[in-house]
Structure 1
Amino acid sequence: MARTVRQALKGRGDFVSDIYVPDMLYASTIRSPYASAAIHRVDASRSLSGTTCVTAATIPGSNELTVGDESMPILAERRANYAGEPIALIAGQSQRAVLAATSDIYIEFAEQPGSFAFVHPDATRIQSHRVVENGSVDAALAASARVVDGTYRTGIQEHLYNEPQGAVAIPGDDAMEIRCATQWPYHVRATVAAVLGWPTQRVIVRPGDPGISLDGKLWYPSLVAAHAALLAHAADRPVKLVYSNVEDFRYTSKRAPVTVRVSTGLSESGELIAADIEAFYNAGAYPLFTSEIVEQLTASMFCHYACENIRISVTAVRTNLPPLNVLSGFAAASAHFATESHAARIVELTESDPIAWRTAAAAGHAKGRRGRDTIARLADVLAEAARQSDFSRKHAAYELQKKRRDALQQRSPTRGIGIAVASQGSGFIGEHRNEYNGTIVVRLDGDRSATLLTSAVAGSTSVAQGWRRIVAETLGIEQQSVHVARPDTDLTPDSGPSTLSRNVAVIGRSIELACEAIQKQRFRKPLPIEVRRSGKVTRTSRFGPTTRGESPYAELSYAVAVVEVSVDPVTFESAVENVWLVVDGGRIVDEVEARRSLEMTTTQALEWATHELVTYHDGVIDPRSYLTYRNIARPVRPRISIEIESASDRAPLGIGELPQSCIPAALAAAVSQATARYMDQVPTDPQLIHGYLEHA
């Protein structure tokens, strides 16, 4: 705490809430109370003296926040498309003065019916629709010995980062300084410059600590920073805008909900011969990152299993909810949940061994040396997870118990065990992937010290330590001689957004390339030597616009999760007792950081899978639900065993999103075995379990 106080007194806290600047104003956002409404008039003429108000009509530059080729308004002008959409901004000498002044802003609305459903929507609501198909799916399904159908749902999840969204804007001589917690400093700079109508060089972004953000600080800080900058520009004074916890919970972006319908055709022996997959995701009022989310869903569906005849349809739908898009993995977790939950259903109906079926289905996917090596890695991880958890013996025992009991008459806890596979690539694969190169600069000085310049936001000291290790080992210097400069758009190059494990696979690779270039020059040129390099994701050529071949990633990391649960037949609570996670992540640069990351995301995956669900009613979240969401009783922490398999001959790969992609399906399979009812959605909370038991 002492360090935070000292930094706050100096005006440079790690958290936005810590920052204090002399002569600073405090700001608030005036929002739409309606999920869908026309805005007929915004009247700020009665604003109290000493306050500053900004509306869409007074924005000096562009009223748009842009990501790729998609955009949303900085402030709503003619209509509001979700409850909580910002319409006006106000700043004053104190938070109390601002609160009093908000009632002086008059907005005339005409409420209209909202649209919230996203499965098979009206054509006018479709943002994007993509279909890829290999083989003859309809003919193969018709010829199948058995067809297995299922519908799988993953709900809306809140990021629950360390600090609510916020920003401080400080006007200066022909410049605007922005301090906010962001994973993408240069996007903040571009957004603020556009809204002010300035060249980007006049905006300086100095990021704070985003903490454990799960991509919640990827793009939304740009919106808050733009709001703070507009007020600071209008008042010509520093402005601080920080959301309350409840405000953040109710109105900011969250994980997009996804519904996946699957029909698979099987041979007499249970082999997968056809798959027809239809996915819908709710993008909210203003879709962003649509291309990337669609691509991740398409690439991740049944990606481990051979199927000659497969059709995947992905539809992004606009609704009257806040923007719903990214949370740790860009919807890949939803695709893996549907895939592995359906695999568990196939295994159950065909009375197959879960390990043997997955291994055989994956083996058919092996084409060429790369494919055979990949499948061998996956088979090894499956076998190791099964060995560590004693999966086969426990699964057989719990299956026998399940067949001998009546779930509704059971009075003692029932048990189950489930297994699921997931993979993860690193970096973007959508249409705009080439716009996000990871540019860094490494400088080696004459005293054998080195400096790394990057705008990538480490998010933890361990990630920065991993970068230092790469520099030190490649250049043959001491780690303590390596300095990682603090991100600053005035000093550090554009390294792109810190998401999708780019800090490890893309930024890490850029650092290696720069250091290797320095090594080639250091004995031929005088020091200091400075090298700039840009890394990017290598995409395979077989992933086409209308057909699906190999993974779009050149290399994948893999994980297998095994989850063991007990279910109370009276309260319907599922208690997670044991979790085993085995990960093949290529070369692990920092095993301590890798294990810490996996432990953290394992806990988050368990919380999502068991109880975390954000619910909107007519487009609105009850403000009281924030306390319920934050304070819901957690079961006793399970025993978690994590095994990391490292390969020194391969490149470092991202692993941080793997638990989110495999643990929910493993848990759902375990609960399914314990209750003898298929769990086809997350979270598998007591209400869901009770409903399935009562109405099966």
Structure 2
Amino acid sequence: MDEGRTLSEKMSGRLKKPGDAGGKRVLSGRFLKAPAASGRIKSIELPELPPGMVCITGKDSPGKTRFAGVPVPLFTGKIILWEGQPILAAAGLNTTEVDEWISRVKMEIAPPEGNAEPLVSEKLIEKGSTVEAFSKAFQVIEERIEIPQTPPSSAAQTVVCVKDGANYTIHAASSWPGSIRQNVAAALKTDKKNIHVRTYPVSPGSNKELWFPTVTACQAALLSNRAKKSVRINSTAPGYPGGDFHIRGAIDAEGRITALEIIFTLFCGAVFPLEEEFFERVLLGLFSIYPCRNYSILGRISHEASPPSTFGPGAGFELGFLAGELFASRVAELSLSPPGGWHRESFPVPGQAFGPGIVLPKDFPMKDMLNTALNLSDFERKSASFEQTRLSRHHLDSEPEFYRGIGLSCGWFGNGFLSSPKDLGSAFLTLTLDKDGELTIEMPSLNHGGPLERAWSNMTGEILGIEDKSINFTNRKIKVNQEAGPSLLGRNVSIYTKLLELAGNDLLKRRFRDPLPISVNRSRRRSGNRSWNPNLLEGSPFENISWGVGIVEIAVSTVTMEVIPTQIWLVIDGGKLLMPDFAKSAVEISVEQTLRWCHTGNEQKEATLVDIQFYNNGNKRISKDVSTLPWLMIPAAYLQAVRQASGVIISRIPVTPEQLRTGGMAK
């Protein structure tokens, strides 16, 4: 049964995390990193290597690595791109000896000529008659928000390359094993059939494992090839981009947004694969749900001499929606209707596009979801009460211990990728029913034993009338020319669930007609004729859209200026929920992570109460992502609530007590 399997594959079932692979004789890889953010390496002198130790530099990589068409350097060339960029890597059994050898490497680095300025690219997107709309506006409303870059992760990311003869097995927490296989094969200039990838669960609510494990895997494989032994490397995952947004909106007498003028800059590291995908998602998030056919948007991307960037939790939506929904809340505040009523009246109606021109689904659920959220939270009454307190606090006889605020935000999330290379969108699977009634599901990316796998097993078993114990998952039989896209942005839940359902129903039709064993294949490749125009921002950019409404209530201490989120209400449309309990848990994790992104400076003594409601209209619907929506809804609602409670126009996250003090929190 194990014939043809590598030693690493035979042992993989015992491993819980990447660092467990390789055994005691695995070599430890370490980096010599650039000591400055820029400069030119004039010379480098390597000490003699001790027995059993190996070293590689950029010159030792036979092939080139690319991620979604973007070249990604494994090591520094002559020009240093960022502080901490790997210059070389060495590996040996004793980590202390490796570090000591690296410390004796001599380098001469010439400073950069002149001042190193960030590399800035920009794009202007215009549509309609913006100037005319502003000239006729009843009022013009502005909003600003600054979102700093998230620094690289402090936790080490481990990748192990296990060498077994001509075979290399990469052990990594990655959402895109196909990219690892392809790039390691390219770096070694070997056949992809010699490269195997064992994936492990990625961080919940994070997309940082999208491309960076590929780089570390290539570095480990090159060391392993040189040493003829297995190698383990610990590295630091990249941070997320930040942004600076300025929005001006033309508003008519009924409170509708008739035109937008937006200038924004995204700040990212020296390398940022898939930046176009990120940029377009930021654009769409800026409009949120509200229709606007007149706009002028100048967007910039600034590459600084800092470590590379990767996707944030919403792949750009989290920045765009924070700015867009904060602006929408400002419009609602200055309108003549209650905030909840403004949102309700500003939603698109059937036959009307939403945002810049996105086709509105027939089952658009947001009005029902908004009404549910408003009722659950008693939003309108609380908002009016807190607002009255804000306006009259100068006349209070005594200062309360806390001032309170409440904020509302709406959001949507496009499942899958938008406009990037075709290899990102591919997905495939095979179902094989053998003569003994055993069903094998072959999928390229698996979280063995995870909740989603169990849900897929239950769903397939119900379709075919097979017990769960007779259903097995594998990714060992995947052909080397079948490389699926990454398992993130809701792709696992939406796309693979649909493929599995189609394959199961096809197999059901054939099982009593064709002799066993029977195999059914289903695949999905990115369509080149989808009705999405990225230049006009019109059409249907995503196959599936998740919807959500979020309300956040907070209290601000008048003594410490700490912000305490007291309760959060979320109403989410995730379609058919495969695992309701797991879906709720995933949303709760995202809420916790999002709150850490929103504020600093206080350790909460009590947990925030989170009320999660999943919307269900009773119709048969496809499954969609739910875990990303808190990142798109909570920050804007949180910031609205802080502004109301404090009386300070906070325009930067995370919110700190110092911001409220220096902003002159109203007494």
TM-score, scaled relative to structure 2: 0.91
Structure-2 residue corresponding to 1:90:
90
Q: 2:212 aligns with which of 216, 220, 225?
A: 220
Which ranges in structure 2 are unaligned for 5 or more consecutive residues?
1-8
Structure-1 residue corresponding to 2:125:
132
- The amino acid of 2:450's aligned partner reads T
SS in 2 for 1:577: strand
CA, structure 1 residues 576+188, in 2 after alignment: closer, same or farther (shift >3 Å)?
A: same
Distance 1:202 1:69 in 2: 23
Structure-2 residue corresponding to 1:651:
622
Shift of residue 126 of structure 1? 2.8
- The amino acid of 1:36's aligned partner reads S
Q: 2:246 aligns with which of 236, 261, 267?
A: 261
Shift of residue 142 of structure 1? 2.3
Moved more, 279-288 or 666-675: 279-288
Alpha carbons 2:160, 2:171 under 8 Å: kept: yes
- The amino acid of 1:295's aligned partner reads E
- The amino acid of 1:608's aligned partner reads W
Alpha carbons 1:365, 1:375 under 8 Å: kept: no
Q: 1:666 aligns with which of 624, 637, 641?
A: 637
Question: Counterparts in 2 of 1:149-228, with a 5 A limit?
Answer: 149-157=142-150, 164-212=156-204, 214-228=206-220
Structure-2 residue corresponding to 1:391:
379
- The amino acid of 1:112's aligned partner reads P
Structure-1 residue corresponding to 2:56:
54
Distance 1:510 1:376 in 2: 24
Residues 79-110 of structure 1: per-residue CA shift (max 9 Å, x gap) = 11111111100111211211221112222212
Distance 2:484 2:551 in 1: 36
Structure-1 residue corresponding to 2:41:
39
Distance 1:105 1:159 in 2: 26
TM-score, scaled relative to structure 1: 0.88
Distance 1:693 1:113 in 2: 44
Structure-2 residue corresponding to 1:285:
270
CA, structure 1 residues 301+319, in 2 after alignment: closer, same or farther (shift >3 Å)?
A: same
CA, structure 1 residues 487+276, in 2 after alignment: closer, same or farther (shift >3 Å)?
A: farther
Distance 2:419 2:624 in 1: 19
Question: Counterparts in 2 of 1:216-255, with a 5 A limit?
Answer: 216-243=208-235, 248=236, 252-255=237-240
CA, structure 1 residues 325+351, in 2 after alignment: closer, same or farther (shift >3 Å)?
A: farther
Residues 50-104 of structure 1: per-residue CA shift (max 9 Å, x gap) = 3211111222332xx3122212211111111111111100111211211221112
Residues 647-666 of structure 1: per-residue CA shift (max 9 Å, x gap) = 54121111221001101111
Shift of residue 365 of structure 1? 7.4
CA, structure 1 residues 577+152, in 2 after alignment: closer, same or farther (shift >3 Å)?
A: same
Moved more, 401-410 or 279-288: 401-410
Shift of residue 460 of structure 1? 7.3
Structure-2 residue corresponding to 1:494:
483
SS in 1 for 2:415: coil
CA, structure 1 residues 276+543, in 2 after alignment: closer, same or farther (shift >3 Å)?
A: farther
Alpha carbons 1:539, 1:553 under 8 Å: kept: no
Moved more, 582-591 or 347-356: 347-356
Distance 1:278 1:681 in 2: 16
Distance 1:199 1:147 in 2: 61
Distance 1:9 1:650 in 2: 40
Moved more, 677-686 or 341-350: 677-686
The answer to whether residue 610 in structure 2 is matched with residue 640 in structure 1 is yes
Alpha carbons 1:347, 1:353 under 8 Å: kept: yes
SS in 2 for 1:500: coil
SS in 2 for 1:254: coil
Structure-2 residue corresponding to 1:323:
308
Distance 1:470 1:107 in 2: 60
Structure-2 residue corresponding to 1:562:
551
Alpha carbons 2:553, 2:568 under 8 Å: kept: yes
Distance 2:131 2:207 in 1: 39
Distance 2:231 2:98 in 1: 12
Shift of residue 355 of structure 1? 1.1
SS in 2 for 1:674: helix
Alpha carbons 2:210, 2:310 under 8 Å: kept: no
Distance 1:562 1:539 in 2: 38
Shift of residue 498 of structure 1? 1.0
SS in 2 for 1:29: strand
Structure-2 residue corresponding to 1:104:
104
Shift of residue 634 of structure 1? 4.0
Shift of residue 18 of structure 1? 2.2
Residues 632-686 of structure 1: per-residue CA shift (max 9 Å, x gap) = 7345211111001135412111122100110111111111110112233321222
CA, structure 1 residues 450+650, in 2 after alignment: closer, same or farther (shift >3 Å)?
A: same
Shift of residue 411 of structure 1? 5.4
Structure-1 residue corresponding to 2:21:
19
CA, structure 1 residues 253+559, in 2 after alignment: closer, same or farther (shift >3 Å)?
A: same
Q: 1:148 aligns with which of 135, 141, 147?
A: 141
Shift of residue 570 of structure 1? 2.3
Distance 1:46 1:39 in 2: 20
The answer to whether residue 646 in structure 2 is matched with residue 686 in structure 1 is no
Distance 1:268 1:487 in 2: 63
SS in 2 for 1:423: strand
Alpha carbons 2:257, 2:292 under 8 Å: kept: yes
Distance 2:452 2:360 in 1: 32
Alpha carbons 2:137, 2:251 under 8 Å: kept: yes
Alpha carbons 2:556, 2:562 under 8 Å: kept: yes
Shift of residue 573 of structure 1? 0.5
- The amino acid of 1:485's aligned partner reads T
SS in 2 for 1:170: strand
Distance 2:466 2:152 in 1: 39
Alpha carbons 1:205, 1:490 under 8 Å: kept: no
CA, structure 1 residues 593+494, in 2 after alignment: closer, same or farther (shift >3 Å)?
A: farther
Structure-1 residue corresponding to 2:340:
355
Distance 1:68 1:149 in 2: 37
Shift of residue 384 of structure 1? 0.5
- The amino acid of 1:86's aligned partner reads P
The answer to whether residue 425 in structure 2 is matched with residue 455 in structure 1 is no
CA, structure 1 residues 476+134, in 2 after alignment: closer, same or farther (shift >3 Å)?
A: farther
Distance 1:276 1:309 in 2: 9
Distance 1:90 1:431 in 2: 35
Distance 2:148 2:269 in 1: 13
CA, structure 1 residues 337+635, in 2 after alignment: closer, same or farther (shift >3 Å)?
A: farther
Question: Counterparts in 2 of 1:322-471, with a 5 A limit?
Answer: 322-364=307-349, 366-367=351-352, 376-406=364-394, 410=399, 412-433=401-422, 435-458=424-447, 461-471=450-460
- The amino acid of 1:76's aligned partner reads T
- The amino acid of 2:58's aligned partner reads A
Alpha carbons 2:286, 2:325 under 8 Å: kept: no
Distance 2:363 2:325 in 1: 17
- The amino acid of 2:611's aligned partner reads S
Distance 2:471 2:124 in 1: 48
Shift of residue 374 of structure 1? 5.4
RMSD: 2.9
Residues 180-233 of structure 1: per-residue CA shift (max 9 Å, x gap) = 221111111111111112222221112233343611212111111111111111
Distance 2:254 2:111 in 1: 57
Shift of residue 318 of structure 1? 1.3
SS in 1 for 2:291: coil
The answer to whether residue 513 in structure 2 is matched with residue 511 in structure 1 is no
Alpha carbons 1:130, 1:294 under 8 Å: kept: no
- The amino acid of 2:190's aligned partner reads W
SS in 2 for 1:405: helix
SS in 2 for 1:98: helix
Residues 141-167 of structure 1: per-residue CA shift (max 9 Å, x gap) = 122121111122222236869x62121
Q: 1:573 aligns with which of 562, 578, 588?
A: 562
